Structure 1
Amino acid sequence: MILLAKKRYRDKEVKFFVTEGELEIIDKKADVAGLDRSKYCRSMTLDGLIVKQDFKQVDDLVYEVNKIGTNINQVARRANELEHVTLDDIKYLKKQLDVIYQQIEKFYGGG
């Protein structure tokens, strides 16, 4: 009696290399998903989602906050030395805060 091999539905092999640590992570994720490694990798490859995040707006906001922090320190130092703050100093800080608020609106508004 000769047994014929059943033809595979998926007959193309895809190979890639991972480290031991990466393989452990893949296996853990497959286990959590209730899939074997092959099904998990196929599912992630075909249906998975890669999210690329752009943090430029956050970086811009952090830069502006750092700038205003430096300016506040300068005004505080002047207030301690001279024991007063000018109206121009307050206006300048208000203007800096407005820039930060604009950046925050831009970030959360997506524009």
Structure 2
Amino acid sequence: MRERNVQIKFFLSPKEAEFIEKKMQEAGIRNKSAYLRKMALDGYIIRIDFTELQKFIDALSRIGNNLNQIAKVANTYGEVSMPVVHEFEAEAMKILYQAEKSIKWLYGK
């Protein structure tokens, strides 16, 4: 049995229907019923772009991989060359810069 069994019908002009389709795409919602229900009940939908956060997560993953490689070399040979350490340091600085940029983006500063 359906949880939602009350049907509501209404009519739109072609322009209004097109506008709703556009708003659904902007919100990343493909289910028209879900979109209209959310808008009718709450009045708005907020879509957050996590592109910057994903870049940050990817960068952190690279740091983890680099750190594992350095640890493997250190454990295998008992030492790590300074150019490798400097390369890792440069990558870490890029990540810190990206983190700062992401935090400013998230807080709108």
TM range (shorter): 0.5 to 0.7
Single out whichever of 76-85 and 87-96 deviates more from structure 2. Answer: 87-96
Partner of 1:20: 2
Task: Show the 5 A alignment for 1:1-111.
Answer: 20-21=2-3, 23=4, 45=40, 48-110=43-105
CA distance in 1, matches of 2:68, 2:76: 12
Q: Deviations over 1:12-52 (max 9, x none)?
A: xxxxxxx934x39xxxxxxxxxxxxxxxx99x538622100
Question: CA 1:81–1:46 in structure 2 vs 1: closer, same or farther (change >3 Å)?
Answer: closer
2:96 is paired with a residue of what secondary structure? helix
**TM-score, normalised by the number of residues in structure 2:** 0.58
One-letter amino acid of the structure 2 residue matched with residue 100 of structure 1: I
**TM-score, normalised by the number of residues in structure 1:** 0.57
CA distance in 1, matches of 2:98, 2:2: 43
CA distance in 2, matches of 1:76, 1:107: 28
Identity of aligned residues (%): 28
> Deviation at 1:98?
0.9
- State how many pairs are aligned: 76
Q: Deviating runs (4+, > 3 A) in structure 1? A: none
Q: Which structure would you say has the larger Rg?
A: 1
CA distance in 2, matches of 1:57, 1:63: 10
Gaps of 5+ in 2: 6-35
1:104 is paired with a residue of what secondary structure? helix
2:47 is paired with a residue of what secondary structure? coil
> Deviation at 1:58?
1.2
